[in-house]
Amino acid sequence: MHRPDKIQAMDYAERPPRDALTLVRPEVHDALEGLSRAGAEDRGAVFTRPEVVRRMLDWLGYTPEHDLRGFRLLEPCFGGGEFLLEALERLLAAHFDRGGSARNADGLEGCLRGVELHRESHGQVIHKVINRLAKLGITRRLAAHLAHTWLVQGDFLLADLGGNGSPAHGGAGFTHVVGNPPYLRLERVPPALLAEYRRRYPTFRHRADLYVPFFERGLRLLAPGGRLAYLCTDRWMKNRYGQPLRRLIAEGYRLERYADLKGEQPFQHAVTAYPAVTVITRAEEPHPGTEVAGREGRWVRVGPEATPPDGPWLLELGAGFERLREWERRFPALEEAGCRVGIGVASGADAVLVRPADLDVEEDRKLPLLLAADVRSGSVAWSGRVLVNPFDAEGRLVDLARYPRLRAYLEAHRPALERRYVARKRPEQWFRTLDRVDPALRHTPKLLIPDLAGRPIVVLEEGRYYPHHNLYWVTSSAWPLPALQAVLRSPVAALFVRAYSVEMRGGYHRYQAQTLRRIRLPRWPELPEEIRRDLASGAARLQQRALARVYGL
C-alpha cells in the first residue's frame, strides 16, 4: 500500500493557477479579471441538480459500462463541479472495474478537462478532486497533478485547450462535452469582452445570449463521432439570433436528442429560464431524426425536416408536425389569402402620451386607445385611455400653434419626451410617438390579439378604437371577420403559434405579427358555399364543423 505524500493538497491548490488564456488585449484581460472574482449573479452562474446531471451523462453515453479511459470529456464552465465530479466518479469506477489501480491512475491524465473562470470556484473544485482521489489511495502528489491537469482556470471562449482537445490524446478533440452554459445576457458582458467574442465566433450575432458561442466552441472541439449535451434555454432553436448556430449544426452535426424541461426545475435554485437538454453529435452520415421528449415524458422520433438549416426548428409538436406541414402544402399564408397583420402604436412615453380621456387637451387630439387589458376577457371593455395624438388626418405632425392646450401639456413634459431616441434623432419632432398613427386604422373593423396569451384571444373590434403596441391587429378585404376570427381562435392557429413562437413562463406564447403571418388558410372564394355560410354565421358549433371539414380536424 502506498504511503500518501506528505505535501498537502493545499500547497497545490493555492499555487497560481495555470493561465489558459490565449493572448488578449489588456482591456479584455481586465474584464476577465473582474468576472473571475464576481458573484454568481454577475457572472450568470446557475447550478444543476444532481439528478439532472446524472440523466444528461446517461443520455450522452458517458457511463461506467463503457471503458471511459478511452474517452475525453470536457466541461466548459464547471462552477461547483456538478458535472465534472459526477463524470470523475464514473471514470474512476470504469478504471477500477477494469483492473486499474491507484498505482497507474496517472493514465487517466488525458480523460477529463474542465474550465472555470471564477477563481474561488476553481480552487474549491480542485480541493474536492484531490480529496476524492486521495481517499482511493492515490498519492496526494499525483492527485494534485491530475487535478491541476484536468481543471483549468480561464474563460472557455478564449482558453487555449491544447489544439482541438487533450494533448495526452493527440489533440484529436473531445469525445464528450457536457455542461450548463452561463445565463448571462449581453448587458452584463463588459463591452471589450463582448467585442472579442463577436470577433472569434461567427454564430454570435444579433441579440444572441452568451450560451450561443458556448455551443459553437463546444461543437468545434468535438472529435468525429463526439457528442455534446447542454442544459440551456431552447430559444435559439426558433429565434432569429439562433439561425447561424442552426446552420452550423446542419453543416456537420446532427441533433440527436431534445428534452423539454420547462415543466420541471432542473436547477438547484429557482431560475426564470426556459430550459431544455440538447444532445448534438458530430457526424457526417445522413440524419436519422431526433428523439424528442415532451413534458409527458414520452419519446417521439421526428425526421430531419423538423430541424431545417434555414428556418426555426419544430421539435415540440410531436404528431402535430405532419399535420402542420400538410396545411402548409395545401393553403396560402394569411396575407396571401387577403389579410393584413400589424401592431398597434408605441408612444415611447406612455406615462405622458397615454392618459385618461378627461385630459385637458383639444378633443380631436385624443385618440381612443385599446390596451391589451381591455380585451383579455374576450370582448372589448374600453378602460377610457386615450393616446395624445400628434398626427393629423393625413398622417402628418400637427402644428402645435393651432393647439394651445396640447402645446402647453407637451411643453410641460418636454424633458421626458426629448430623452427618447426618436426625439434625439429628429429634435424638431420631439413630441411625436415612436410609431406613426394611421388615421384609417381606427375606423377599420379589425381583429385584435394580445401579444402574450396562454390561449388564443381574438376580439372583433368594429372600428371605434386604435390599438396599443401590445395588441396585434388583423384586417381582411377577402375574409369576413367573424369567419377569420373562428380560424384564429381554433386549434389550427394555436398549432402554428406553438410551432413558430417561443414559449414564455406559464405556458404562454407570443402572438407576434411574424408568427401570425405563418398561419395558413384557404382563399375565401374557393371554399364551398356551405362552409362559407357556417364560418360566417358566428355560431360556434357551425364554425367548428366547418373548420373540421376544411382542415381535417
pLDDT tens string, the chain, 553 residues long: the values are 333 333 333 333 333 334 444 556 788 888 778 877 776 555 455 667 888 899 899 999 999 999 999 999 999 988 888 999 999 999 999 999 999 899 899 999 999 999 998 889 999 999 999 999 999 999 999 999 999 999 999 999 998 886 444 333 334 589 999 998 887 777 778 888 888 989 999 999 877 888 999 999 999 999 999 999 998 888 888 888 889 999 999 888 999 998 877 666 655 555 555 688 899 999 877 777 788 876 555 677 777 888 888 888 888 776 678 888 899 999 999 999 999 999 999 999 999 999 999 999 999 999 999 999 999 999 999 999 999 999 998 889 999 999 999 999 999 999 999 999 999 999 999 999 999 999 899 999 999 999 876 677 999 999 999 999 999 999 999 999 999 999 999 989 988 988 888 766 656 667 788 889 999 999 999 999 999 999 999 899 999 999 999 998 7
Delimit the CATH 3.90.220 region(s) of the chain: 339-397+436-551
The confidence score (pLDDT) of residue 224 equals 92
The confidence score (pLDDT) of residue 172 equals 57
The confidence score (pLDDT) of residue 41 equals 58
Report yes or no: 54 and 93 within 8 Å, Cβ to Cβ.
no
Which residues are CB-contacts of 528 (< 8 A; sequence separation ≥ 6)?
none
**Amino acid type, 536:** A
The confidence score (pLDDT) of residue 46 equals 65
The confidence score (pLDDT) of residue 398 equals 94
Q: Say which CATH class 9-233 falls into.
A: alpha beta
The confidence score (pLDDT) of residue 263 equals 60
Q: Look up cell 428556418; give the residue.
A: 311
The confidence score (pLDDT) of residue 7 equals 30
User: What residues form DSSP beta bridges with 368?
Assistant: 386
Among 319, 254, 266, 258, residue whose Cα is nearest residue 293: 258
CATH 3.90.220 fits 339-397+436-551, yes or no: yes
User: What residues form DSSP beta bridges with 448?
Assistant: 459, 473
The confidence score (pLDDT) of residue 93 equals 93
The confidence score (pLDDT) of residue 164 equals 43
3-class SS at 508?
coil
The confidence score (pLDDT) of residue 111 equals 95
Among 232, 204, 238, 192, residue whose Cα is nearest residue 44: 232
C-alpha span between 42 and 57 (Å, rounded): 28
Delimit the CATH 3.40.50 region(s) of the chain: 9-233
The confidence score (pLDDT) of residue 45 equals 56
The confidence score (pLDDT) of residue 15 equals 37
Torsion sign (Cα): 353, 357, 362, 365: positive
Cell readout for 103 is: 498505482
Q: Look up cell 432542473; give the residue.
A: 266
C-alpha span between 553 and 541 (Å, rounded): 14
Q: Look up cell 470556484; give the residue.
A: 121
**Amino acid type, 319:** A
